[in-house]
Amino acid sequence: MTSRIRAAVSGSASSLTGRPAYARGCALGARDSAAATVARVPDGRYAPSPTGTLHLGNLRTALLAWLFSRSSGSRFLMRVEDLDTGRSRERFVAEQLADLAALGLDWDGPVVRQSERGERYAAALAALDARGLVYPCWCTRAEIRQAATAPHGALPDGTYPGTCRELTAAESRGRERSGRPAALRVRADAAQVTVEDRLLGSIGSVVDDFVLRRTDGDWAYNLAVVVDDHAQGVAEVVRGADLLETTPRQAWLHGALGYGAPPAYAHVPLLLGADGARLAKRHGAVTLADRAAQDRSAADVRAELAASVGLCAADERPEPAELAARFDASLLTAWSPNAVTRRRS
Ligand SMILES: [Zn+2]
């Protein structure tokens, strides 16, 4: 037994049971009085997009999110992020949930489908619009790329520079007449946001005027995630470090929508292939089905993923409950910081 595992076994998960210091979040906007007075247990969630088969990297993130919740006695919620109507497939919804269950992960309540929640997103958009915070944007991707290369104050490179924010009425009419579809953006006024991530520390960023509804009419990821996390009572977001760049925008939007403090965040390291690149299909047997074809059971895969974060030895096959009893998030902060893809926006 390594010292790390021993620490995991003997160490209590007490740091997960209260509202720890990392949950400071960022101070944004007016707090919703109801949200402020109701004690929020740190419910967690996993929110896969059904655009393909979950690979071991996705499964490890799901396992970690489940461990964060279950080790502290919290509820664990499941949400299917099927907003991308062009890429989402019903067969992947069923397959992904089956793979998660095979791994031994369970969840509370019904599976929430973003594709069924358009009314909630529309209401949130209307609330922002009523405060003058929404404007149409006719820019194409190429135009944004081009404009974003010019200096535009405090905004990070590559973000939306606000081209359509200050159009005159005549300019807006002209663009409307062109028939080109408009996206809807939120007026964030280059807000400076700092988010406390329990694994990565302070993440500071300037928030650009990001998209709420896309030109194709689909709801944008950032809006849906914030509305859903609030509606579901999610107080702790554990997800892959590749989503870190979306976090300051989402934390800001929580405040702008009057939801009070954003959830606590923990962005976990991505699983890498042997070549050091982010795990992908080209790395070989990377799904549960691939592993099954090699006579590796779901319990074997669970153990493999747990071993990769120091929760068990290679020859152990611990049950999920045993892993939850061993889990201590502080293990992750000590473990492999170089494996974290740390992009900021
Ligand atoms: Zn624009």
Give the pLDDT score at 154. 64
State the chain's mean pLDDT as an integer: 84
Burial label, 274 (beta-carbon count in 10 A; 0-12, 13-18, 19+): exposed
Task: Please state the domain count of the chain.
Answer: 1
- State residue 20's pLDDT score: 28
Q: What do you get for the CA distance between the two ends of the chain, in Å?
A: 40
Q: Is the residue at 342 inside a domain?
A: no
Q: Is residue 38 part of a domain?
A: yes
Question: Rounded to whole angstroms, how far apart are CA atoms 265 and 239?
Answer: 8
Do the domain assignments include residue 64?
Answer: yes
What percent of the chain is predicted at pLDDT more than 90? 67
pLDDT value, residue 328? 87
- Is the pLDDT assigned to residue 11 strictly greater than 80? no
The tokens for 41 are 């247990």
CATH number for the domain spanning 211: value is: 3.40.50.620
Distance, CA 185 to ligand 1 centroid (Å)? 8
- pLDDT value at 157 more than 80: no
H/E segment holding residue 138:
none
Cα 211 to averaged position of ligand 1 atoms, centre (Å): 10
Task: Quickly list DSSP for 17-78.
Answer: HS--GGGG----SPPPHHHHHSPPP-BEEE---SSS---HHHHHHHHHHHHHHHTTT--EEE
Q: Examine residue 339 and state whether it is found in any structural domain, yes or no.
A: no
CA of 139 to the centre of ligand 1 (A): 4
Do the beta carbons of residue 142 and residue 179 sit within 8 Å? Answer: no
Segment 223-249, tens digit of pLDDT: 999 999 999 999 999 999 999 999 999
Domain that residue 27 falls in: 3-14+22-332
In a domain, 343, yes or no: no
Q: What is the pTM of this model?
A: 0.83
Kindly give the distance from the C-alpha atom of residue 152 to the centroid of ligand 1, in angstroms, as a whole number.
14
Give the CA distances from residue 105 to residues 45, 162, 263, in Å, rounded to whole numbers and listed in that order. 11, 43, 22
Q: Quick one: which H or E segment has residue 112?
A: strand 112-113
DSSP annotation string for 152-196? -TTSPTTS---TTTT--HHHHHHHHHTT---EEEE--TT-EEEEE
Which one, of 181, 324, 193, lies nearest residue 262 by Cα?
193
Query: Cα(296) to centroid of ligand 1, in Å?
Result: 50
Q: Is the pLDDT of residue 153 over 50?
A: yes
228 CA → ligand 1 middle, Å: 27
Nearest to 304 by CA among 20, 59, 32, 121: 59
CA of 160 to the centre of ligand 1 (A): 8
From the CA of 217, how far away is ligand 1's center (Å)? 16
Q: Distance, CA 275 to ligand 1 centroid (Å)?
A: 39
Domain contains 55: yes
CB 103, CB 136: distance < 8 Å: no
In a domain, 272, yes or no: yes
Please give the distance, rounded to the nearest whole angstrom, from the Cα atom of residue 208 to the centre of ligand 1: 12
Residue 190 resides in a domain: yes
Residue 18 phi, psi dihedral angles, 5° rounding: -90, -160
